[in-house]
Amino acid sequence: MTTAQQVPDILSAEFAADPYPAYRLMRESAPLIWHEATQSYIISRYDDVERVFKDKGGEFTTDNYDWQIEPVHGKTILQMSGREHAVRRALVAPAFRGSELQEKFLPVIERNSRDLIDGFRHTGSADLVADYATRLPVNVIADMLGLDKADHQRFHGWYTTVIAFLGNLAGDPEVTAAGERTRVEFAEYMFPIIRERRENPGDDLLSTLCAAEVDGVRMSDEDIKAFCSLLLAAGGETTDKAIAGIFANLLRHPEQLAAVREDRSLIARAFAETLRYTPPVHMIMRQSAGEVTLSGGTVPPGATVTCLIGAANRDETRYRDPDRFDIFRDDLNTTTAFSAAADHLAFALGRHFCVGALLAKAEVEIGVGQLLDAMPDVRVADGFEPVERGVFTRGPQSLPVRFTPRAD
């Protein structure tokens, strides 16, 4: 095992500007690093991160979420295991797959995407982050839950504060305090709505969660509030950055953009490759249940393990020419890319695989398709170079584009 001083520190400005050279160095010469500032062991190779996520032997837990997530969300299904986890996941999962997703929520996505595009299609210019990507996921989640979209700014403020808390690797006390305030504010907002929905259920996801029952277990008000908080933060932040990331990647590779424009079935391939090449979430933590040997050394029991998704997804032993964006690569399985059998690591794997993966896929496919319809000649604004920002989550903060205005 090596120490963090031998590679760029994950809290350094150099790393934040461009983590990929550091990721390569970690994989090659420092696959297991003790990082003093975060009190965690950092791993970067695909095989190690995959092993931690799949956790077939019960070697790793999500006990780290007791301090990393619970202070801002309350106790979520991410912290649960065994029957408690299985029942809670069974209560929420049906809404995010199959007929429920197809019949109830695809029209919601289509309508919200169209409404946003109608706001700029006639202008010939837009910032795909500010005008679209940051707004679509929050609007969709608000509609799914039957919440008032007029509160969009509050929702966006809450989820960005939560994400800042989760990515507060340097331990900034002001970021911590803001995250903890958000838990209180969101609870005060949600509990009256949950109680009203129990009394007067509607045709929305929140009403479904209030009524759902599996093996005699129903979700408490606290369970529902915590899940909604998690959905807003995870679904908002990741889909936001995925949509911006797809366009940033395609605009840098015009021949691939042209292929997607001509064949919309390639959007799924572009999404899968974006999840591999520039994943919205770059790191997820787990905790060791006992002593575990990984590449480069041994992790003691009860230690926090920081899994670098952004590094593992560019592992040379798993992908050919991994620093190249290529929607046509044959070493990434698009068929399984949005399931627990995925061979990229952006949604995690195993029992804690992202429950909203198919919802994200639907939002991206619909959104990218409608945007290409409205902007067939889309191009980056003159003089602008898309730049990623962030360490814990990462993506373009701005993406100004130009196109021929369309009235329809």
Proportion of the chain above pLDDT 70, given as a percent: 98
The pLDDT value recorded for residue 79 is: 73
Which residues, 6 or more positions from 397, have their beta carbon under 8 angstroms from its beta carbon?
129, 387, 389
pTM of model > 0.85:
yes
The pLDDT value recorded for residue 87 is: 75
**What DSSP character marks residue 393?**
B
The CA-CA-CA angle for residues 75, 90, 112, to 5°, reads 80
The pLDDT value recorded for residue 98 is: 67
Each residue's pLDDT tens digit, 367-378: 999 999 999 999
The pLDDT value recorded for residue 263 is: 97
Query: Is CATH 1.10.630.10 the right assignment for the domain spanning 67-274+328-402?
Result: yes
Distance CA 283, CA 305 (A): 10
The phi and psi torsions of 393 (rounded to 5 degrees) equal -115, 155
Alpha carbon distances (Å) from 1 to 4, 6, 41, 42: 10, 11, 10, 10
**Contacts for 249-257: CB closer than 8 Å, 24+ residues apart:** 249/273, 249/274, 249/277, 249/278, 249/325, 251/378, 251/379, 251/380, 251/386, 251/399, 251/401, 252/325, 252/386, 253/325, 256/325, 256/326, 256/327, 256/328, 257/378
Distance CA 162, CA 298 (A): 32
Q: Is 388 left (phi over 0), alpha (psi -120 to 50) or beta?
A: beta
Rounded to the nearest 5 percent, the helix, strand and coil shares of the chain are: 55, 10, 35
- For the chain, the C-alpha Rg in angstroms (whole number) is 21
The pLDDT value recorded for residue 69 is: 86
Low-confidence ranges of the chain (pLDDT < 50): 4
The domain segmentation of the chain, as residue ranges, is 67-274+328-402
How many angstroms from the chain centroid is the CA of residue 55? 20
CB 356 within 8 A of CB 231: yes
**H or E stretch at 153:** helix 152-166
The pLDDT value recorded for residue 153 is: 86
